[in-house]
Structures are given as structure tokens and as C-alpha cells.
Amino acid sequence: MKILLLCWRDSTHPQGGGSERYLERVGEYLAAQGHEVVFRTARHMNAAKREHREGVLYSRGGAKFSVYPRAWLAILAGRLGLGDAKNIDVIVDTQNGIPFFAKLVSKAPTVLLTHHCHREQWPVAGPLLARLGWFLESKVAPRVYRSSPYVTVSQASKQDLEELGIKGAHIIENGVDPLPEHVPTLQRETAIHLVTLSRLVPHKQIEHAMDTVAKMPGAVLDVIGSGWWEAQLREYAERIGVASRVRFRGQVTEDYKHALLALADVHLMPSRKEGWGLAVMEAAQHGVPTVGYSFGLRDSVIPGQTGVLVDTEEEFVRAVRELVADANLRRQLGENARELAAHYSWEKTGCAFEKLLTQTARATAGSQKAWTDQQPEH
């Protein structure tokens, strides 16, 4: 099959994150199985317009908003036999807030992928854009894609979709990358090392992690990741007096990322909303338990077994303190988390996706043939 993957960013984008990596790993698996895979996404600084990576063709065009109409133009050109999007058998349309609405311009069957609903994230876009965005996500997209398969990554996200009237979404869980062959060992600066691995955007609530550090004398926090909210976070760290104990690491190499995770006592994930929480599993690979919110993480953390989930910021701080103080509990939760992470792989994710895409393409082809057979001969 020739498969078109639509996503507003890829992982090379400065603000790329776990959802982008998910689709890339699916694409790489599909390419390895012999499928032709095109990943259509936005162009960004220093990114090539076209490049091949791990068997996948990355075709870039447009920016934050223009990526959507540019993708439409590419699909329409493909229908005329032009460009990278010609002869497409099936499309995966990723809904990061809003989908590409590829179904409106393509005759190819389309699968809608969404990691979670964005009700909690839309307000940062401003009142007008927030209302428009949520209307498109909650009202228009379900209507446009009412006859298409939906894919999401967790039971919690499936329940959110059901609240929007979307029934029967397929759950295809995240995988996790194997550990790098060599992970350097870093020296501890202090007795308490905390870490957060995240895009730096408002709904991730990294401020809560810094508030925790402020209430734990001597603790150091490594912040791994980048995003447009970084300047505000640095200013906040200065304002609450923890700038010298918060290390903004930015985008780092895989081996250094894992070295920082391995150094940590506890992984903090105070996000307001996560579809899954890939960073939870990456920390778990090193036996590092996660503290998060019950309304933000509902699937990747098993409360009381692989980490701790709480309801308020006060409880968040208390949970981190208790884990840091209780080495035995921390070690037990961490080992349980490591065992859980071992159950996930991108091969399982890719295999499930390939099966669904094959079924979708065949069902559409079968329907078209049946319709053709029913037409009277002239």
C-alpha cells in the first residue's frame, strides 16, 4: 500500500513531542513491511522540503497554520497524478486539536488518529480561536469522520471521545524506544535529583514541578525539552527563587536524555492532560517512578504500583517528598514501572496499525467494487 501520514509537525521540529514520535515510529514500521509511506508535515527552520529517514519520505510545506491548506493542495495535486501524494491507498489524519480534514479533499479511505481531546488546551489560544478550535474538534470533525475509523492511545482518551459521541475508537497503545547502547553515568550534584521530560507549553504545568523544588531545599530539577513557553518558565523560576536549582536542558541527544532520566530519583509529570505519557515509560525504563495528576495521567501510571497520582498541587508536593524520603517505596515502584515498560514496543504498535489500515483499505475497495458491479451495463 501507499500510505499518507498527516501531522502538523515531525520530531525534528523544535516543538515536536511524543505524539509526533508515535506517528513516525508507525511510519517506520510500515515502511519496513514494504509499504510506501509519505509523512506530510510542516516545514521549519533548517528542515529540508523533502527527505528520506528510516524508509519514510518526509514531505514538508507550510507553517503552524498554513500546513493545513498546503496539505490539501498536495492531496489535490496527487489526485491529478502530481507530487508525493499521488496514488494514495489510505490516509492517517492526525488530530492535534484539529485534523487536516483530508476526507473532504481525498477519495482515499481515512483513519483519524487523536491522542486526546484538547478541551483543556484550547484556552491558551485566546478566546476567539479557542471557541473556534473546540467547535471544529468537538462538533465538525466527528461529523466529517463519522464513517471513518478512529484511533486513540488509551482508555481514558477513548472515554473522552465517547463523550463527544464517537463510539468504537480503536486503542493502539504507544510503544517505547529501546535504551541506547551506551548511556553515560552522570555524577550527582546533590542528594535529591528530580526530572521532567516534556514540551514546554502551558498545559504541561511545569510551574508545579518548580513549586515542588521550591519546597524541597537542596533538590535539583532537570527540565528536558523545549517549547514556546520556555521564557515564561525561566522567568517563573527566577520569581520563586529556584533558578539556580532548575536546569533547562533543552532538546538533548537520546543518550544524554536517558542519562538524565537514570540520574533522577523521581520523574515529575504535572500535565493537565495527556493521552498516554510517553515520558512516563522512558523514565520507567530506568526504574524511576512518576508522580502526576489523576486527571492528567490515567493509563501509563498504575497508582500505588508504578507511581503516584494525586488530585491537587499540595498532594503533588507531598507525594514527591514522600517518595524521595522512602527509598524502599521508591525502589519498589520503580521496579514495577520498569516491568510495565517492558511490555510496550513500537513493533506491537506498528503491527496493530498495519492491520487496521489494511482492513480499512480493503473494505473501501470492496465497497467500490460492489457498487461498480451493481451498475447496469450500457
| Residue 24, domain member (yes or no) | yes
CB distance 96 to 64 below 8 Å: no
CA angle 261, 264, 268 (to 5 degrees): 85
Considering the domain architecture, whether residues 170 and 200 belong to the same structural domain is answered as no
Position 274 confidence tier, pLDDT thresholds 50, 70, 90: confident
Considering the domain architecture, whether residues 140 and 216 belong to the same structural domain is answered as no
| Residue 228, domain member (yes or no) | yes
Which grid coordinates are listed for 33? 513491511
Which grid coordinates are listed for 112? 483519524
Give me the chain's average pLDDT, please: 93
Considering the domain architecture, whether residues 201 and 315 belong to the same structural domain is answered as yes
Position 374 confidence tier, pLDDT thresholds 50, 70, 90: low
Considering the domain architecture, whether residues 136 and 204 belong to the same structural domain is answered as no
The CB density around residue 375, as the number of other CB atoms within 10 Å, is: 7
Considering the domain architecture, whether residues 213 and 132 belong to the same structural domain is answered as no
193-197 sheet: strands from edge to edge: 246-250, 220-224, 193-197, 266-269, 290-293, 307-310
Pairing of β 56-60 and β 50-53: antiparallel
Please tell me the predicted confidence (pLDDT) of residue 189.
87
Position 370 confidence tier, pLDDT thresholds 50, 70, 90: very low
Which residue in 42, 71, 37 sits closest to 54, CA to CA? Answer: 37
Give yes or no for residue 45 having a pLDDT over 90: no
Helix (H, G, I), strand (E, B) or coil at 23: helix
Considering the domain architecture, whether residues 301 and 361 belong to the same structural domain is answered as no
Pairing of β 50-53 and β 246-250: unpaired
| Residue 186, domain member (yes or no) | no
Domain boundaries, position 282: 193-341
Q: Write the CATH number for 65.
A: 3.40.50.2000
The tens digit of pLDDT for each residue in 343-369 reads 999 999 999 999 999 999 998 765 554
363/348 Cα distance (integer angstroms): 23
| Residue 75, domain member (yes or no) | yes
| Residue 236, domain member (yes or no) | yes
158/152 Cα distance (integer angstroms): 6
Q: H or E segment at 51?
A: strand 50-53
Give yes or no for residue 372 having a pLDDT over 90: no
| Residue 180, domain member (yes or no) | no
Quote the number of domains for the chain.
Answer: 2
40/50 Cα distance (integer angstroms): 10
Using a cut of 0.85, tell me whether the model's pTM lies above it. yes
Considering the domain architecture, whether residues 71 and 106 belong to the same structural domain is answered as yes
236/19 Cα distance (integer angstroms): 27
Considering the domain architecture, whether residues 28 and 60 belong to the same structural domain is answered as yes
Considering the domain architecture, whether residues 328 and 353 belong to the same structural domain is answered as no
Considering the domain architecture, whether residues 60 and 73 belong to the same structural domain is answered as yes
Strand partners, 247: 222
Considering the domain architecture, whether residues 31 and 169 belong to the same structural domain is answered as yes
Strand partners, 364: none
| Residue 153, domain member (yes or no) | yes
